[in-house]
Amino acid sequence: MPVMAVHSETFEIRTKGKGTYEITSQVEAILEQSKIASGIVTVFVRHTSCSLVIMENAAPAARRDLENFFERLVPENADYEHDDEGPDDSTSHIRMALTRTSEVIPVAARKLQLGTWQGIFLFEHRRAAHRREIVVTVIGE
């Protein structure tokens, strides 16, 4: 009978300002190291000014439309109370809250069960370069 296990690793990604950065291969590498064949992978970003989104992985234009939509939906030039760190301070938290901090992806036959067009992306909401920590936890057998 297979034995249930937990495998967890944290990796870092360096962002160079606002935008979406694919992290699918880093998540896949941790899954492979875990030797877990079936179960779930949970992805968690340890920040409140960037977020996660599972998005179309083929057309960069689709991601630019997403990024531009968030610029219009949560504009920097609105009247925010919290702007200690600049005009992208409160906007980055609001854009984070509208997307995701954690995501759960099923695993079967040792592979992430993403659809054909799905990639996992870090969504950076800050103008400046940042180091971002992402925790990947695999649970299964």
Site residues (vs its own copies, CB under 8 A):
1, 3-6, 8, 10, 38-40, 42, 44, 46-48, 53-56, 59, 61-62, 64-66, 69, 73-74, 80-82, 84, 89-90, 93-94, 97-106, 108, 113-115, 117-118, 133, 135, 137, 139-141
Nearer to its own copies (CB atom), residue 101 or residue 127: 101
Find the shortest distance in angstroms from Cβ 119 to its own copies. 9
Q: What is the DSSP string of 11-62?
A: EEEEEESSEEEE-HHHHHHHHHHHT--SEEEEEEE--SSEEEEEEESS-HHH
Nearer residue to its own copies within complex by CB, 40 or 127: 40
Distance CA 91, CA 78 (A): 9
Both tokens assigned to 4: 């249930």
State the minimum distance, in angstroms, from the CB of residue 118 to its own copies.
Answer: 6
State which residue, 13 or 139, has the beta carbon closest to its own copies: 139
- Closest distance of CB 17 from its own copies, Å: 19
- Beta strands in 60-112, from DSSP E residues, in sequence order: 102-108, 111-112
Which residue's CB is nearer to its own copies, number 25 or number 72? 72
- In the complex, minimum distance from the CB of residue 71 to its own copies, in angstroms, rounded to a whole number: 12
- Residue environment code for 102-118, b if the CB has 16+ CB neighbours within 10 A, otherwise e: ebebebeeeebebeeee
Give the span between the Cα atoms of 56 and 11, in whole angstroms.
23
